[in-house]
Amino acid sequence: MAMINLHEGNFEGSVSGDGIVMVDCWAGWCGACETFRPVYEKVAAKHPEITFGSLNTGVEKSLVSKLGIEHIPTLLLYRDGILLFQQPGYYEEGEMEGILQQAETLDMDLVRSEIVADVKKQDVKSTTYKEDPND
């Protein structure tokens, strides 16, 4: 699959579907980003079954803020619409392959059940906590 240039208008639709989506968050002024780009493109070429996206953080500042990206390059990985990995840094080809392999073999039913359990815990905390108006 070709590299997708991601922006505010297509980001959510690109990462929310079935399958794996890896996103390189970069900027034109970032030397580490320029060094990482060929590695990212090489891994993308080896995995046509995976969607690879490119997010220019210098242009998409609102989206970058929403995603909480503070350092670049940052690598994001989604599977079936769930963000599984968000980490800044330069990754070698073998490290990226390892990240993809972990994502491919992950039990997504288990991930979804853990998300539901975490949400239920948060709901319980928010409904049981009451401020004492006398404090």
Residue from 30, 39, 59, 111 carrying the catalytic annotation: 30
Number of CB atoms found within 10 A of residue 64's CB: 20
Cα distance between residue 14 and residue 52, in whole Å: 10
- Alpha helix (H) residue ranges in the chain: 11-15, 31-46, 61-67, 93-105, 108-128
> In the annotation, is 30 catalytic?
yes
| Token pair belonging to 18 | 């079935």
Residue from 33, 75, 76, 103 carrying the catalytic annotation: 33
> In the annotation, is 25 catalytic?
no
Cα distance between residue 24 and residue 51, in whole Å: 11
What residues are annotated to the active site?
Answer: 30, 33
